[in-house]
Amino acid sequence: MSEQKSASETAETTALVRAVACFEPDGRIRVQDCLARMFLQSEKRDKLDKEQYRSAVKTAARNGLYEYIIARTTYFDGLFANAIKDGIPQIVILGAGYDSRAYRFGSGTTKIFEVDATFTQERKISILKANGIDCGKVSFVPVDFEKDDMFLRLEERGHDLAQLTYFLWEGVSFYLTPDAVRATLMAIKQNCRGSVVVFDYLNTSLSGEHEIIRKDERVLFGMEKSEIETWLSSLGFRVLENLNPSEITARFLTGTDGKVFGNTKDTMNFMKAAV
């Protein structure tokens, strides 16, 4: 991600899937991201109301990707909303992309920081302003995850190291090198003890070069479920939740009729850990 020369295509693809999932008829499955469509290129946005186009998007999001993004969005929505309700002092959204939670749920007394690569962040701010969305209460923090001192950048924008922080790290870890993932977690440990970090991760160990999936974004990091728990423990983290695909499906993809809507990707887990 440090090599990005333009706004992230993966971030827009995620927004597209979220926008399509807003049309699901079952309220327990339907994604509540009413702002996702604004981040799409006009040729995609203008087709959203056509069922044939939405069906094509679902077909393209194969191997459980469509279901996975539904489940992941719902999971992180709940974490964000509960943190605001509980008055958590600070939320830092790492690799925020086109995350719209601060604008859908508000912020209450919580300070919100969105951390991301410059190109994606600048496009997002431009779109928010063009659509009349008030983003004055959000602190935008441009960071190169591979090179910059993230906490120095956060402090410059008003983040208080002494305050409890929820770090939401959605759809990012697998695009970073293992060293960058470790460095981010260690920075959280060293600067924000008592805080919580939540992220999704590839539940398979990786080595060597891997397929480029979108421009400069490559899958570089992954660990087996038991392996990552041991690894996090060695870094000083306490695992609070480590949801596997079957648990994700049961919890977030079961409709109002009690039937499973679809199976999520079998290679992805949700992790919540405290330090």
pLDDT in tens, 138-160: 999 998 866 789 999 999 999 99
Indicate the average pLDDT of the chain: 92
The domain ranges of the chain are 64-274
Q: Which residues contact 15 (CB under 8 A, 6 or more apart)?
A: 36, 37, 39, 40, 97, 98
pLDDT in tens, 38-55: 999 999 999 999 999 999
pLDDT above 50 (res 2): no
Q: Dihedral of the CA atoms 125, 213, 30, 47 (nearest 10)?
A: 70
Number of C-alpha atoms within 13 angstroms, CB side, residue 34?
6
- Residue 60 is classified by DSSP as H
**Dihedral sign, Cα of residue 57, residue 60, residue 63, residue 68:** negative
CATH fold of 64-274, please? Rossmann fold (3.40.50)
pLDDT in tens, 88-131: 999 999 999 999 999 999 999 999 999 999 999 999 999 999 99
Q: What percent of the chain has pLDDT over 70?
A: 93
Phi, psi of 168 (to 5 degrees): -105, 120
* Beta strands, E only, 71-148: 90-94, 111-116, 138-142
Overall pTM surpassing 0.85 (yes/no): yes
